[in-house]
């Protein structure tokens, strides 16, 4: 190669491996002394004002030394210099361009030195002012003789442009012009030899040119220069050749506009009912995305000549009455101002723009597209259908994009969808500021997987510019732009749109249009230069009868139905549909106007009525008709307030072919829930997703959790919190948890309420069975003790301890054990009433019996001397009245309890998580503690009396046993109180039953166990003889 290697490295970066082992030619140059040393030692601290040096250093070494433009950043390695520059860039090999720059600086310096020397020599000795230097003086000072020679020739141009070095491109243009001249010369010689009739048969009329070029000439031009590199503009008898070196990028999909336009014209001209005896003519102009070329094309159309003469028309035929134009709003606005001078109607087929609807600015402009008033609702319905609540929005940087952004943000707030970020796309491709492209770095790493694209798609130039570096494969795009432009303008990033969605206005199929597109070819319209160009580009051939004649051999299936590449010509775009309707709208307006003129004219007047463009305005504003697809078309302001949208899925096939597949519809006029219809089985998702993608700021909170907003963040950014113990959430992303009803409880996942089971301390469960067995065992044991005492009632030990009180105590203990069974089983009104009353009465009898026994012992030892009062009390059986008196007091308390607030059945729904417990509510807690307090006071009195009588002497003195038994009794019930208050439900009932059993068993064991031991195990001690012997031994 002989190219500039430093440029080859950058421009052909992806194919550098192919150049390995090749050769490169460059100009011979000597090494510049000291230059490599400067390159090795330079760093950003030497030139802090140099932004690019700091940026290069930071890119290479990820650091900046002290004193640089941005200050110290990171820690630079010791070898940080261009001598050890990382990557594929070699900064020490001096390139040709660097060598030439070095020489160029010295050339300018020498010229300045020589010029200043001459000015100093010419100046006066006392003039010390700085000589003034003009740029052109530098050129002259370099070589005055050479400059004088150049000024006399056409090879010199002022400035610092070198026009003497002939470039490769100039050389090719020179040869191309000579070849074309020879071809034209040969053709003209052949033409002169033939008759005028033959020449007319061999020529054809190029569109918009008005000049005859032979068919062979056109063929040579197509073959030699290529249809994408040349345009011929004939003027008079000469032929000017305009060669465009830069390759043009054509929007071939837009040629469908021409096909729809031609089809509508042909239908109207064949229709005997519409515009009879009148044939519609037309002119086609190519619009270029440049204000300068747009205005130039408009002036070409207005003047009818190549030379632009404003306010003059050189057309010999009739004037055009309407213009159908406007791919973009900017294009329509640019030509609309000029067309307004002539009151010429302009019907646009581009997207709807509210700015163009302002009648005071554009009174002669009509938009075929309807308003996008419900587009935001349609997109929000799609987002909510898939649960996408975290989205990014890209809009064009114009009023239309701003209005859409405001509308959709308002809808998003209502529906709970959050905006991750929004980007206004710049509308120029010439230069980019850093702020305009900085958003691309965040697209790939952003958490928003859904991107909405709206507005003028030419703003996507910036996306195209860096698409190869910032791929967005993992994103779902939802767009409402013109797809046919998207295909071309974003060609490098179309892979990013795979699996996206496109909204377009609903349209029915136009009968016959698809067949027309399938069968058309360049031989049908030989004057159409662009059709031949498109055909040659696609199939590399041209059929017989086309503009450039037969070229190559076309395949049998050469048609738009089997169009190669990524262009789908059979999917009718919105713009093509609008163009079809626009042509019919003009035709209907013309038909009505001509009908009115014919009705007003005299019967003998057969002249063609004159049609002026401004006459169509009143008719176009009122026009209303139904097209062949069955859709109503009009320009009335009240039309289609709620447009119907088709939803397409964007699918890219491996061969580069791209297709829009209709997968659903959105109709805002339907009821909520029925407005969006989707066929999800037909949806093709982006390659990064194997299932329906999610677009969330935070992961969804499943059932059983609720959302908790994060301070300072969007409402869509939240944390998930488990529902409280008795609450549930049965759907995803619940705002609040729902408490279960009292008769229900949440399951383990807390996403469903389950009915609680009714339970109680039943005999069947383990705890109830254990307590019942204990009660029965102690009851049997008590009955056995009573039997023993009855059987040995005449023994000294039974008599000595007041046999009657022992019987009463044993019977009371038996009833105590049995009353505990009232607390077990399913509660009812009777058991609830008997539980506390029976417990209070029988325990009062038992404790009062113990108290009576203790008092009896004391009276027995205090009544040793006859005649004393205490002896009379003992003999009269005063202690036997203690039991009825104490029991009567307890009975009164229980009666008051039952009379004021008796116990009742309570449904306890809160003690246990998943059960409803049936318990007996005590009714009056005060009455319960009064009964319990009275019982406690009796026990305390018994304990004190027994404690005082513990040391009284006698063989069968049971005061010690009574003291210990009451100590156990009091300990049990003192322990019972805190435990009872700390439990609920069945456990609380079990604690009370256990306390009854424990206290009763304490009385039984402590009082009667020693006596039973003597009666059953040591019967020899239970006799009168043993008693006398024991008494004899104790005497001194």
HEC secondary structure over 455-486: CCHHHHHHHHHCCCCCCCCCCEEEECCCHHHH
- Give the position of tokens 């909170």: 701
Helices 329-340, 291-303: axis angle to 10 degrees equals 40
Supply the pLDDT for residue 316. 56
Q: What's the CA gap between 935 and 849, in Å, rounded?
A: 12
Of 747, 717, 711, nearest to 733 by C-alpha is 717
Of 185, 234, 181, nearest to 210 by C-alpha is 234
Q: Worst-scoring range by mean pLDDT, 220-229, 344-353, 568-577?
A: 220-229
Supply the pLDDT for residue 513. 92
Contact 297, 208 (CB under 8 A): no
715's enclosing H/E stretch is none
Supply the pLDDT for residue 137. 56
Q: Is the pLDDT of residue 728 over 90?
A: yes
Q: How far is CA 409 from CA 14, 173, 200, in A?
A: 42, 55, 65
Supply the pLDDT for residue 260. 92
Q: What's the CA gap between 261 and 531, in Å, rounded?
A: 14
CA pseudo-torsion sign 456, 457, 461, 466: positive
Helices 829-862, 985-1003: axis angle to 10 degrees equals 30
Q: What percent of the chain has pLDDT over 90?
A: 11
Which of 44-53, 573-582, 669-678 has the highest average model confidence (pLDDT)? 573-582
Contact 755, 742 (CB under 8 A): no
Q: What's the CA gap between 988 and 920, in Å, rounded?
A: 11
pLDDT in tens, 983-1033: 877 888 889 899 989 988 988 888 888 888 888 887 777 666 655 555 444
Q: Is the pLDDT of residue 474 over 50?
A: yes
Q: Is the pLDDT of residue 328 over 80?
A: no
Q: What's the CA gap between 40 and 979, in Å, rounded?
A: 88
Structure token pair of residue 941 = 């009195």
pLDDT in tens, 865-908: 555 554 554 544 556 678 888 889 988 988 899 888 888 888 88
* Vertex 662: Cα angle to 656 and 665 (nearest 5): 150
* Vertex 627: Cα angle to 622 and 631 (nearest 5): 85
| CB-based contacts of 416, cutoff 8 Å, min separation 6 | 389, 715, 716
Q: What's the CA gap between 946 and 962, in Å, rounded?
A: 6
Supply the pLDDT for residue 440. 55
Pairing of strands 738-739, 727-728: antiparallel
Q: Which residue has the higher pLDDT, 642 or 780?
A: 780
Q: What's the CA gap between 449 and 496, in Å, rounded?
A: 12
Region 134-161: what's the mean pLDDT? 41
Supply the pLDDT for residue 629. 87
Q: What's the CA gap between 422 and 414, in Å, rounded?
A: 18
pLDDT bin (cut points 50, 70, 90) of residue 782 is: very high
Q: Which residue has the higher pLDDT, 12 or 84?
A: 84
Structure token pair of residue 380 = 């929000």
Structure token pair of residue 277 = 């005896």
Of 172, 301, 185, nearest to 243 by C-alpha is 172
Structure token pair of residue 310 = 């404003």
For the chain, the 3-state helix, strand and coil shares in percent, each to the nearest 5, are 50, 10, 40
For 547, other C-beta atoms within 10 Å of its C-beta total 27
Mean per-residue pLDDT of the chain:
75
Q: Is the pLDDT of residue 952 over 70?
A: no
For residue 729, report the phi and psi dihedrals to the nearest 5 degrees: -140, 120
For 849, other C-beta atoms within 10 Å of its C-beta total 29
Q: Which residue has the higher pLDDT, 196 or 48?
A: 48
Cα maximum dimension of the chain: 181
Q: Is 71 left (phi over 0), alpha (psi -120 to 50) or beta?
A: left
Q: Is the pLDDT of residue 312 over 80?
A: no
Q: What percent of the chain has pLDDT over 70?
A: 70
Supply the pLDDT for residue 154. 34
pLDDT in tens, 2-11: 655 555 555 4
Structure token pair of residue 349 = 């087929």
If DSSP states are collapsed to H, E and C, what string results for 762-809? CCCCHHHHHHHHHHHHHHHHHHHHHHHHHHCCCCHHHHHCCHHHHHHH
Pairing of strands 624-626, 676-678: unpaired
pLDDT bin (cut points 50, 70, 90) of residue 956 is: low
Of 318, 324, 319, 321, nearest to 365 by C-alpha is 324
Q: Is the pLDDT of residue 466 over 70?
A: no
Helices 255-270, 574-600: axis angle to 10 degrees equals 30
Q: Is the pLDDT of residue 195 over 50?
A: no
Q: Is the pLDDT of residue 770 over 70?
A: yes
pLDDT in tens, 683-727: 988 887 888 888 888 888 899 999 998 888 888 889 999 999 889
Contact 634, 623 (CB under 8 A): yes
pLDDT in tens, 565-588: 667 788 888 888 999 999 999 999
Which of 143-147, 239-243, 822-826 has the highest average model confidence (pLDDT)? 822-826
Supply the pLDDT for residue 779. 93
pLDDT in tens, 525-572: 888 888 888 888 888 888 887 777 777 888 888 888 887 666 778 888
- Give the position of tokens 């206004």: 424
Q: What's the CA gap between 810 and 804, in Å, rounded?
A: 10
832's enclosing H/E stretch is helix 829-862
Q: What's the CA gap between 590 and 269, in Å, rounded?
A: 13
Supply the pLDDT for residue 217. 44
Supply the pLDDT for residue 443. 58
For 708, other C-beta atoms within 10 Å of its C-beta total 11
Task: Name 665's bridge partners.
Answer: 646, 677
Is pTM beyond 0.85 here? no
Q: Is the pLDDT of residue 127 over 70?
A: no
- Buried b / exposed e across 948-979, counting CB within 10 Å, b at 16+? ebeeeeeebbbbbbbbbbbbbbbebbeebeee
Q: What's the CA gap between 522 and 540, in Å, rounded?
A: 13
Of 578, 645, 636, nearest to 376 by C-alpha is 645
Supply the pLDDT for residue 598. 81
Q: Worst-scoring range by mean pLDDT, 664-673, 779-788, 1010-1019?
A: 664-673
Contact 375, 503 (CB under 8 A): yes
Q: Which residue has the higher pLDDT, 963 or 74?
A: 963
Structure token pair of residue 884 = 């009825």
Supply the pLDDT for residue 122. 74
| CB-based contacts of 847, cutoff 8 Å, min separation 6 | 886, 935, 938, 939, 942, 969
Contact 254, 248 (CB under 8 A): no
């Amino acid at each position: 190669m002989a190219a500039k290697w430093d440029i080859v490295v950058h421009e052909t970066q992806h194919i550098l491996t192919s150049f390995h082992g090749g050769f490169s030619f460059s100009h011979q140059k000597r090494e510049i002394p000291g230059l490599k040393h400067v390159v090795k030692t330079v760093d950003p601290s030497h030139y802090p004002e140099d932004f690019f040096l700091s940026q290069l250093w930071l890119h290479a070494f990820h650091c900046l030394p002290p004193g640089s433009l941005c200050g110290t950043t990171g820690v630079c390695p010791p070898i940080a210099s261009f001598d050890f520059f990382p990557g594929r860039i070699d900064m020490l090999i001096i390139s040709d361009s660097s060598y030439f720059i070095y020489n160029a600086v010295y050339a300018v310096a020498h010229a300045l030195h020589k010029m200043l020397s001459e000015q100093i020599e010419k100046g006066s000795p006392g003039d010390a002012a700085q000589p003034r230097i003009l740029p052109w003086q530098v050129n002259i000072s370099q070589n005055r003789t050479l400059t004088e020679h150049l000024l006399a020739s056409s090879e010199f141009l002022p400035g610092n442009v070198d026009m003497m070095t002939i470039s490769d491109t100039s050389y090719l243009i020179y040869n191309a012009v000579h070849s074309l001249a020879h071809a034209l010369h040969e053709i003209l010689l052949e033409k002169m030899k033939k008759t005028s009739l033959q020449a007319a048969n061999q020529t054809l009329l190029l569109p918009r040119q008005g000049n005859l070029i032979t068919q062979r000439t056109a063929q040579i031009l197509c073959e030699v220069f290529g249809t994408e590199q040349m345009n011929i503009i004939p003027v008079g008898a000469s032929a000017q050749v305009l060669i465009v070196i830069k390759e043009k990028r054509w929007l071939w999909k837009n040629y469908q506009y021409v096909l729809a336009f031609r089809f509508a014209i042909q239908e109207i001209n064949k229709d005997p009912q519409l515009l009879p005896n009148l044939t519609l003519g037309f002119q086609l102009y190519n619009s270029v995305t440049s204000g300068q070329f747009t205005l130039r094309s408009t002036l070409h159309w207005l003047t009818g000549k190549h030379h632009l003469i404003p306010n003059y028309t050189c057309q010999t035929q009739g004037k055009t009455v309407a213009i159908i134009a406007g791919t973009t709003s900017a294009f329509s606005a640019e030509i609309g101002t000029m067309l307004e001078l002539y009151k010429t109607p302009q019907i646009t087929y581009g997207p709807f723009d509210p700015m163009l609807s302002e009648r005071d600015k554009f009174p002669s402009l009509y938009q075929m597209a309807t308003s996008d008033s419900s587009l935001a609702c349609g997109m929000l319905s799609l987002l909510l259908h898939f649960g996408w609540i975290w989205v990014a929005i890209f809009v064009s940087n114009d009023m239309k994009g701003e209005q859409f952004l405001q509308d959709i943000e308002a809808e998003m707030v209502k529906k709970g969808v959050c905006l991750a970020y929004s980007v206004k796309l710049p509308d120029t491709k010439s230069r980019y500021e850093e702020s305009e492209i900085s958003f691309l770095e965040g697209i790939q790493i952003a958490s928003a997987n859904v991107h909405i694209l709206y507005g003028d798609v030419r703003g996507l130039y910036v996306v195209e510019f860096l698409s190869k570096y910032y791929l967005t494969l993992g994103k779902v795009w939802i767009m409402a732009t013109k797809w046919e432009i998207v295909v071309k303008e974003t060609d490098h990033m179309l892979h990013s749109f795979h699996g996206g969605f496109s909204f377009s206005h609903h349209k029915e199929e136009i009968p016959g249009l698809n067949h027309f597109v399938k069968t058309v070819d360049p031989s049908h319209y030989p004057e159409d230069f662009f059709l031949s160009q498109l055909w040659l580009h696609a199939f590399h051939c041209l059929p017989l009868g086309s503009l450039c004649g037969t070229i190559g051999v076309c395949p049998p299936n050469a048609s738009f139905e089997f169009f190669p590449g990524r262009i789908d010509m059979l999917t009718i775009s919105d713009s093509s549909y609008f163009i079809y309707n626009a042509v019919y709208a003009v035709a209907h307006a013309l038909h009505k106007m001509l009908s009115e003129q014919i009705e007003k004219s005299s019967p003998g007047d057969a002249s063609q009525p004159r049609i002026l463009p401004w006459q169509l305005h009143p008719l176009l504003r009122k026009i209303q008709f139904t097209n062949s697809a069955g859709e109503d078309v009009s320009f009335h302001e009240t039309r289609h307030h709620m447009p119907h949208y088709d939803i397409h899925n964007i699918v890219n096939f491996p061969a580069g072919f791209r297709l829009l597949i209709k997968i659903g519809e959105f109709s805002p006029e339907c009821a909520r829930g029925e407005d969006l219809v989707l066929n999800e089985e037909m949806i093709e998702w982006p390659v990064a997703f194997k299932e329906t993608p999610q677009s969330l700021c935070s992961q969804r909170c499943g059932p059983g959790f609720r959302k908790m907003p994060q301070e300072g963040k969007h409402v869509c950014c939240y944390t998930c919190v488990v529902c409280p113990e008795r609450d549930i959430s049965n759907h995803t992303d619940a705002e609040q948890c729902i408490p279960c009803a009292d008769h229900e409880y949440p399951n383990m996942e807390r996403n469903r309420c389950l009915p609680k089971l009714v339970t109680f301390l039943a005999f069947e469960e383990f705890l109830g069975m254990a307590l019942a067995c204990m009660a029965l065992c102690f009851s049997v044991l008590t009955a056995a003790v009573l039997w023993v005492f009855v059987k040995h009632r005449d023994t000294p030990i039974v008599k000595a301890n007041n046999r009657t009180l022992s019987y009463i105590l044993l019977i009371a203990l038996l009833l105590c054990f049995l009353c505990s069974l009232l607390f077990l089983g399913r509660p009812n009104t009777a058991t609830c009433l008997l539980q506390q009353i029976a417990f209070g009465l029988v325990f009062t009898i038992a404790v009062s019996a113990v108290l009576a026994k203790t008092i009896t012992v004391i009276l027995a030892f205090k009544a040793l001397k006859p005649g004393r009062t205490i002896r009379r009390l003992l003999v009269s059986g005063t202690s036997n009245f203690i039991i009825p008196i104490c029991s009567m007091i307890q009975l009164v308390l229980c009666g008051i309890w039952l009379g004021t607030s008796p116990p009742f059945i309570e449904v306890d729904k809160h003690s246990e998580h998943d059960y409803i417990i049936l318990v007996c509510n005590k009714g009056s807690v005060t009455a319960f503690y009064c009964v319990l307090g009275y019982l406690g006071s009796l026990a305390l009195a018994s304990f004190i009396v027994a404690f005082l009588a513990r040391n009284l002497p006698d063989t069968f003195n049971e005061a010690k046993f009574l003291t210990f038994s009451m100590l156990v009794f009091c300990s049990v019930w003192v322990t019972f109180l805190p435990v009872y208050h700390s439990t609920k439900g069945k456990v609380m009932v079990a604690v009370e039953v256990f306390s009854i059993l424990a206290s009763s068993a304490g009385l039984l064991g402590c009082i009667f166990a020693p006596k039973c031991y003597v009666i059953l195990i040591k019967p020899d001690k239970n006799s009168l003889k043993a008693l006398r012997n024991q008494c004899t031994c104790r005497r001194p």
